[in-house]
Structure 1
Amino acid sequence: MPTPHEEILAILREGKDMTLATLRPDGAPHATTVSYASDGIGIYFGCGEGSQKARNLAHDERVSLTIDLPYADWSQIRGLSIFGRAQRVTDPDALMRVAETFLAKFPEVAQYIRAGEAGPAMFRVTPELVSILNYAKGFGHTELVRVTDAWGRGRVEPACD
């Protein structure tokens, strides 16, 4: 039986897209679907520099997101619901690592990268609370865990929130 940490990592590896909810300056939620890549429990995504997501995150870094894996019937439903904080990645070395992480997961991205052109604004979501959904353990079964280190690579522990 996998640990919660192993289960989170497996779902992050298997998934490709997430629904990301940010907060508009007026407090209204804004949800969109974006592709992501992960490094440990840290999650990366890109968006346009002037996009609604980027503007929202400049105002408030709090995000909620969901990742749902494909399934044939309800007994196979697996996914994650995550609360965390998204921060823009600006360090050139970190951006190179993010690019390598994306290219490893999505090799087709290479065709959209042009020399000399600025790429998308890249963000890193650091999870704080993770709800693991796994219907193989029972209808609607969820397990809530708290990520206990700043980079989301270490421990997860049960949460009572």
Structure 2
Amino acid sequence: MPLTNPWLVGPAPDRQLPREELEDRILNLLSTQNMAVVATINADGSPSATPVRYFSLGLEIFYSSWNESRKSRNLVRDPRISAAVFAPLVGQASSRGAQLFGTARTLERNDPVADRYWEAFRWQSDHVERGRPLDAPPTDPITIVTPTRILYTEHWLRRSGYAPRQTWRADPG
């Protein structure tokens, strides 16, 4: 049987990408996908994972949610969060994703800091789909996930001699 991706055979390289290249690959992933699974911590310490549609600015992702939702209530109590973003998987060669670990903050619509994020939030298509007027922007709060660490996986990196799992840290020191 022919081997379609011989560079996937054998032990994975352990060489790390330069920081700028790693950030560029993470930004590409965040910019080309729109679904994440966010994990928060329930009051009893158990995890709660929820799919969300997200948008991104830099290495931060953000989404809109009601204050009464489980994930929002969990974040009020404990702002630690994890988010997983991944590209469609066709095979090992296409495996690409990121796990963001950090904290979340929720901003009410009238918070001036939220304006920067709402400008990047494409809410208009939702309004059209739901028959809402385009001159009435959403009033929901927005939750911003700020990573302190990102575990990035891309098996295609093996072709160039790099480890398929790379770690980005906000504080590289």
Code of the residue aligned with 2:103 in structure 1: it is R
Structure 1 contact 54–121 (Cα < 8 Å) conserved:
no
Which structure would you say has the larger Rg? 2
1:99 matched to which residue of 2? 118
Code of the residue aligned with 1:128 in structure 2: it is T
1:141 matched to which residue of 2? 164
Code of the residue aligned with 2:169 in structure 1: it is R
Q: Please tell me the root mean square deviation across aligned C-alpha atoms, in Å.
A: 2.5
| Unmatched tracts of structure 2, length 5 or more | 1-16
Over the matched positions of the two proteins, sequence identity in percent amounts to 24
| Unmatched tracts of structure 1, length 5 or more | 149-156
1:25 matched to which residue of 2? 43
How many angstroms apart in 1 are the aligned matches of 2:166 and 2:124? 33
Structure 1 residue 138, shift from structure 2 partner? 3.6
2:101 matched to which residue of 1? 83
- Among 73, 80, 83, the alignment partner of 2:91 is 73
For residues 79-129 of structure 1, give each alpha carbon's deviation from its aligned partner in whole angstroms, at most 9, with x where no partner exists.
1011010001235333332222111xx641233555668633211111001
With the length of structure 2 as denominator, give the TM-score of the two structures.
0.75
2:143 matched to which residue of 1? 123
Code of the residue aligned with 1:35 in structure 2: it is R
* Higher deviation after alignment, 83-92 or 122-131: 83-92
Structure 1 residue 20, shift from structure 2 partner? 0.3
Whether 1:55 aligns to 2:73 is: yes
With the length of structure 1 as denominator, give the TM-score of the two structures.
0.81
How many angstroms apart in 2 are the aligned matches of 1:67 and 1:79? 5
Code of the residue aligned with 1:145 in structure 2: it is W
